[in-house]
């Protein structure tokens, strides 16, 4: 019988890969907690309407990327394609948003029916940040600063650039859309097919087009920055001042519009040229109208989401993961002789009691070629037990180098000391 396989574009993350994921997740958590953000966990499935109403009917996600199905009750449900909508829904439902200042983060799988390729999958993972109730540009700056700090801690700051734009208010965008459509209509036949379609449904997205001929036409198109009202302009200049003060470099990209309908004022992306076409590792912006659009009282919001697969790829490409993060344990314990075999488990427990944090793997199989087997595990420290007249004796090795042979009682201090050296 043919074997069942995983669904295309949905990946297993294998044991040799998870240490990098855990390292990345740990770094993100540390940065987020240093800014006082709290974790929120939402369901993976929501009512389809939630995404239609928030993301927008004429976006790539809603038009062609959602995993939507009917449950046994005939209700239309969708696997979440992103986290913001669910976070707003949860915040509203539990009264966490109106008239409050909130900083949340979440992590987990997202689902989009896309063409799978490097850095683009059907199940992928995001860590996202959402803030509510703060309308000044300080919070826009904060979410950017915390992402910059994360890149610095991960050693990838030099490999990413910050692209920044302001979309202004809804009214600003409406006026701009009219003029953009009028301009593009003159060149309708020279636009690529996607852009011709978007011209009708979601004209701002034409700015995203990678098509050479469309790009050429766009060069003389009206620029959104010229349409911003005073408030949006001041907001943006406060943001760039704060980024300047923090020493964060950015490029203003007047074509940056983002795929989702709900953004206003600030939009940004962190982009790398190290991953080919899938170069955006983190993207976000301000969404002041979203809470209201979903039935709540007007509450400003700013957030972003980063793509974990792309960040893992970047860390691997740049080889910035510390060696110590790639192994899942520190010490391997095995018996050197049959008599000592029954002491291995006990010794493991003893050392775990004595040295909190030490990661121990015990040998639970046969004793043949025990020396080379222990080394094949990639262990930095190997402890081999023997039973003598006076009880259990352990020989500690640091890879191929003999450290010392001591009785059981001497092991905690010896192992602890050697562990500090390899850490
Ligand atoms: P793209 O333009 O690459 O399709 P997007 O604008 O659709 O990205 P967002 O909705 O802003 O992406 O999601 C935030 C981040 O999540 C992206 O910058 C990217 O790092 C990651 N991401 C989005 N879609 C995928 C996917 N299908 N596979 C892997 N990562 C993804
Ligand atoms: Mg996309």
Query: Looking at 290, 318, 346, which one is the last position of a domain?
Result: 318
- Residue 197 maps to a domain: no
Categorize the per-residue pLDDT at 119 as very low, low, confident or very high, splitting at 50, 70 and 90.
very high
Residue 241: its H or E element = helix 230-245
| Contact call for residues 393 and 414 (beta carbons, < 8 A) | no
- 344 and 313 housed in the same domain: no
- What is the number of the ligand 1 atom nearest to the C-alpha of 82? 10
User: Domain check: are 268 and 389 in the same one?
Assistant: no
**Whole-number pLDDT of residue 260:** 75
* Average predicted confidence (pLDDT) for the chain: 95
Q: Which ligand is nearest to the CA of 259?
A: 1
In the reported structure, the alpha carbon of residue 313 is separated from the centroid of ligand 1 by a whole-number distance in angstroms of: 14
pLDDT recorded at residue 123? 98
Distance from Cα 308 to the centre of ligand 2, integer Å: 14
254-269: average pLDDT: 88
State the average pLDDT over residues 141-158: 98
Pairing of strands 45-47, 38-39: unpaired
Whether 110 and 126 have beta carbons less than 8 Å apart is answered as yes
Mean pLDDT of 90-112: 98
Give the closest residue (by CA) to ligand 1 atom 23. Answer: 307
pLDDT tier for residue 366 given thresholds of 50, 70 and 90: confident
| Domain identity same for 85 and 157 | yes
Ligand closest to 270 (CA) is 1
pLDDT tier at 10, thresholds 50, 70, 90 = very high
Q: Are 123 and 75 spatial neighbours (Cβ–Cβ below 8 Å)?
A: no
pLDDT of residue 327: 81
Q: Is the pLDDT of residue 261 over 80?
A: no
**323 pLDDT exceeds 90?**
no
Residue 209 lies in a domain: no
Q: Are residues 381 and 405 in the same domain?
A: yes
289 within a domain of the structure (yes/no): yes
Same-domain check for residues 377 and 412: yes
Q: What is the mean pLDDT of residues 197-209?
A: 89
Question: What's 383's domain CATH number?
Answer: 3.40.50.800
Q: Tell which atom from ligand 1 comes closest to the C-alpha of 259.
A: 6
Clarify whether residues 304 and 339 are in a common domain.
Answer: no
CA of residue 307 to ligand 1 center, whole Å: 6
187 part of a folded domain: no
Same domain, 54 and 121: yes
Q: Measuring from atom 21 of ligand 1, which residue has the nearest CA?
A: 307
Residue located nearest, by CA, to atom 25 of ligand 1: 120
Instruction: Name the token pair of 196.
Output: 């011709």
pLDDT band at 187 (very low <50, low <70, confident <90, very high): very high
Residue 61, token pair as written in the block: 């996600």
Output the pLDDT for position 116: 97
Identify whether residues 346 and 373 lie together within a single domain: yes
Residue 29 lies in a domain: yes
Query: Using an 8 Å Cβ cutoff, are 373 and 334 in contact?
Result: yes
Same domain assignment for residues 27 and 75: yes
Examine the pLDDT at 274 and tell me if it is beyond 80. Answer: yes
Give the model's confidence band at 150: pLDDT under 50 very low, under 70 low, under 90 confident, else very high: very high
Last residue of a domain, one of 275, 290, 318: 318
In this structure, the answer to whether residues 287 and 334 fall within a common structural domain is no
Mean pLDDT computed over 383-391: 92
Full residue range of the structural domain in which residue 409 is found: 329-418
Count: domains in the chain:
2
Residue with tokens 């004022």: 265
Q: Rounded to the nearest whole angstrom, what is the distance from the C-alpha of residue 237 to the centroid of ligand 2?
A: 29
pLDDT over 80 (residue 197): yes
Q: CATH number for the domain including 247?
A: 3.30.930.10
Q: What is the pLDDT of residue 56?
A: 87
State whether 300 and 361 are in the same domain: no
pLDDT of amino acid 393: 96
Q: What is the pLDDT of residue 60?
A: 87
**Euclidean distance between CA atoms 130 and 86, whole angstroms:** 11
Q: Which residues are near ligand 1 (CB < 6 Å)?
A: 82, 112, 114, 119-121, 124, 126, 259, 278, 280-283, 305, 307, 309-310
Residue 373 alpha carbon to ligand 1 centre in Å: 43
CB 210 within 8 A of CB 253: no
Residue 5 lies in a domain: no
Residue with tokens 């993207």: 283
Given 318, 347, 369, the domain boundary residue is 318
**265 shares a domain with 382:** no
């Amino acid at each position: 019988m043919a074997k069942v396989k995983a669904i295309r574009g949905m990946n297993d993350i294998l044991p040799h890969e998870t240490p990098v994921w855990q390292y990345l997740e740990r770094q993100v958590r540390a940065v987020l907690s240093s800014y006082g953000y709290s974790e929120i966990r939402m369901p993976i499935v929501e009512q389809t309407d939630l995404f239609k109403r928030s993301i927008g009917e004429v976006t790539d996600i809603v038009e062609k990327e959602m995993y939507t199905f009917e449950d046994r009750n005939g209700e239309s449900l969708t696997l979440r394609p992103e986290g913001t909508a669910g976070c707003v829904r949860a915040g509203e439902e539990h009264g966490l948003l109106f008239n409050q200042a909130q900083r949340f983060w979440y992590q987990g799988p997202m689902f989009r029916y896309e063409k799978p390729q490097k850095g683009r999958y059907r199940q992928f993972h995001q860590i996202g940040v959402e803030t509510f109730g703060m309308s000044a540009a300080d919070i826009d700056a904060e979410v950017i600063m915390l992402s910059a700090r994360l890149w610095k801690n991960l050693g990838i700051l030099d490999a990413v650039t910050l692209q920044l734009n302001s979309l202004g208010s809804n009214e600003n965008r409406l006026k701009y859309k009219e003029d953009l459509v009028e301009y593009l209509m003159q060149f309708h036949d020279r636009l690529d097919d996607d852009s011709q379609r978007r011209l009708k449904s979601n004209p701002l997205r034409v700015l995203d087009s990678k098509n050479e001929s469309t790009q050429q036409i766009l060069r003389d198109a009206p620029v959104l920055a010229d349409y911003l009202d005073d408030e949006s302009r001041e907001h943006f200049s406060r943001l760039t001042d704060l980024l300047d003060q923090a020493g964060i470099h950015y490029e203003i990209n007047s074509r940056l519009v983002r795929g989702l309908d709900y953004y206003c004022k600030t939009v940004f992306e962190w982009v790398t040229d190290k991953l080919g076409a899938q170069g955006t590792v983190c993207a976000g912006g301000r969404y002041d109208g979203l809470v209201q659009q979903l039935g709540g009282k007007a509450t400003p919001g700013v957030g972003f989401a980063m793509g974990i697969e792309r960040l893992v790829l970047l860390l691997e490409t740049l080889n910035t993961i510390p060696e110590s993060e790639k192994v899942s344990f520190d010490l391997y314990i095995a018996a050197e002789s049959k008599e000592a075999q029954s002491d291995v488990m006990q010794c493991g427990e003893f050392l775990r009691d004595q040295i909190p944090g030490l990661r121990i793997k015990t040998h639970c199989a046969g004793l043949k070629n025990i020396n080379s087997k222990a080394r094949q595990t990639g262990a930095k420290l190997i402890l081999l037990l023997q039973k003598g007249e006076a009880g259990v004796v352990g020989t500690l090795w640091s890879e191929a180098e003999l450290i010392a042979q001591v009785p059981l009682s001497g092991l905690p201090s010896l192992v602890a000391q050697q562990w500090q050296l390899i850490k």
